[in-house]
Amino acid sequence: MAEITTEQVWQEIEKQLFAVLGMATARHEARTVGIVYAVYERKLYISSLKSAWKARHIARNPHVSLTIPIPKRIPLLPWIKIPAATITFPGLARVLEGTAVPQPIIQKLFRGLEITPESSPPYVVIEVTPEKEFVTYGVGVPLMTMRDTTKARGRTAVA
């Protein structure tokens, strides 16, 4: 098993911006959606239209999972396909009114775009607090080590 620390995982999460968010519908059917996120004080923030189904599903059931893919490439040989490394974890989500979210989070989330009630459609912000453990694959290990799934996997507390 890969030796990985909580700090290394958080550093990698902060470098990325795309993840796959898993949730359940009111009928307990699994759903996933690709999202763009921002990190602030060890929580992940996702914007959504207020009317979007992901906001409705999460409002009903706050238990979610996130998987963050981390692209891997061989320098000078970009045509060789390498599986992405991943960080996966469960989390507890809550849906916040966009106007209730502190400005530093809004600035990170919208990456400099000016967002006002007049210029944007009604939106909410989904806050995800990671829970329990991060499960990793290929994080903090050399590319060749990724060939051995036992050595490429890692686990560390969210703390």
The pLDDT of residue 119 = 67
Give the domain range for residue 137: 6-157
- pLDDT per residue over 32-63, tens digit each? 999 999 999 999 999 999 999 999 999 999 99
The Cα 83–Cα 97 span in angstroms is 37
The pLDDT of residue 58 = 97
The pLDDT of residue 86 = 98
54 in a structural domain: yes
Sort 110 into a burial class: Cβ within 10 Å, 0-12 / 13-18 / 19+: middle
Residues of the chain with pLDDT under 50: none
Sort 116 into a burial class: Cβ within 10 Å, 0-12 / 13-18 / 19+: exposed
Q: Domains in the chain: how many in total?
A: 1
59 in a structural domain: yes
Read off the tokens for 64. 């979610």
For 52, the 3-state DSSP assignment is: coil
Please name the residue that has the structure tokens 């966009």: 98
- Residue from 25, 37, 36, 24 nearest 64 by CA: 24
Question: What CATH number is attached to the domain comprising 13?
Answer: 2.30.110.10
1 in a structural domain: no
114 in a structural domain: yes
87 in a structural domain: yes
